[in-house]
């Protein structure tokens, strides 16, 4: 495994690697956990070479304090990656990715006006900026993203389509802690007591899955909100039950398409997201 900080050097190394197989890519912001490792292991297994980027992208944080608080530990990340078979780790500086300010403005229509887009203005434009730049540097055949960030996945697919990029976007299942809590880099910021109580989020979604169809869409969203808010450690920011393609809210179970419940919840000062698909 080789650590690379220069995009010029990485391009040279990948040009060589591409001669003997495909490139699988996992973009991350570091603070790696088992969920990330599952993406990397799949990228390695399905391609000739696996590449991981570790870059905390400033343009996708609408809250400067959130950017400052975001956990960073490159040495620990590199140790975790040793066992995955990853060939290259790209850990650039901000200046390497943004030698000049990125002024591009992406338009994703209704995909970006709901849920995370509504509550974190500018977030998805920053995501599109950095992922498109990373795709230009790595030029992967396949890129791997976790389904926990369901709306982000939809945005990246739309960006790939808009820019006509020759990369396959591979969605990967949510990896959870033993308690059911969706793995997230932000979990590192939780106290042990907060982490224990945060498991109520996934437990509530699992129970909601069994109630789908028995309660109306509105009643179920209200039930999820009320149940989570009953825990003194948790405060719901939003609960939305949406179409999994358009991400627009649904009003009835009889509407066509698969439905998914997406939630954002504050646990102390840490914001957590999760979702569950109603099959």
Domain coordinates in residue numbering, the chain:
2-172, 185-273
Is 36 catalytic? The answer is yes
Q: Structure tokens of 154?
A: 């939809």
Q: What is the pLDDT of residue 148?
A: 97
Q: Which residues of the chain have pLDDT under 50?
A: none
pLDDT in tens, 255-264: 999 999 999 9
Q: What is the pLDDT of residue 1?
A: 97
Q: Structure tokens of 23?
A: 């490139």
266 forms beta bridges with: 235, 271
- Choosing from 33, 36, 123, 209, which is the catalytic residue? 36
What does CATH list as the number for 2-172?
Answer: 3.40.50.620
| pTM (whole model) above 0.85 | yes
Q: Which of 180, 210, 207 is nearest to 272 (CA)?
A: 180
Q: What is the pLDDT of residue 56?
A: 96
What does CATH list as the number for 185-273?
Answer: 3.30.1300.10
């Amino acid at each position: 495994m080789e650590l690379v900080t220069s995009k010029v050097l990485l391009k040279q190394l990948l040009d060589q690697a591409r001669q003997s197989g495909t490139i699988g890519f996992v973009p991350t912001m570091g603070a790696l956990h088992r969920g990330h490792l599952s993406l990397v292991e799949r990228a390695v297994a399905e391609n000739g070479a696996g590449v991981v980027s570790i870059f905390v992208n400033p343009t996708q944080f609408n809250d400067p304090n959130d950017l400052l608080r975001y956990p960073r530990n490159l040495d620990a990340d590199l140790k975790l990656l040793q066992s995955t078979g990853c060939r290259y780790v790209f850990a650039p500086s901000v200046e390497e990715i943004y030698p000049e300010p990125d002024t591009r403005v992406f338009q994703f229509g209704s995909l970006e006006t709901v849920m995370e887009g509504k509550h974190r203005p500018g977030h998805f434009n920053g995501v599109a900026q950095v992922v498109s730049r990373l795709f230009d540097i790595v030029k992967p055949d396949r890129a791997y993203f976790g389904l926990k960030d369901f709306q982000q996945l939809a945005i990246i697919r739309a960006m790939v389509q808009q820019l006509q990029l020759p990369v396959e976007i591979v969605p990967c299942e949510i990896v959870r802690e033993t308690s059911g809590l969706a793995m997230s880099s932000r979990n590192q910021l939780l106290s042990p007591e907060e982490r224990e109580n945060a498991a109520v989020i996934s437990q509530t979604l699992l129970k909601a899955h069994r109630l789908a169809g028995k309660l109306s869409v509105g009643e179920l969203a209200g039930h999820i909100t009320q149940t989570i808010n009953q825990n003194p450690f948790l405060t719901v920011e939003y609960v939305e039950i949406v179409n999994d393609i358009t991400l627009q809210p649904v009003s009835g179970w009889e509407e066509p398409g698969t439905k998914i419940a997406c939630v954002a919840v504050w646990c102390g000062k840490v914001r957590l997201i999760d979702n569950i698909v109603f099959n």
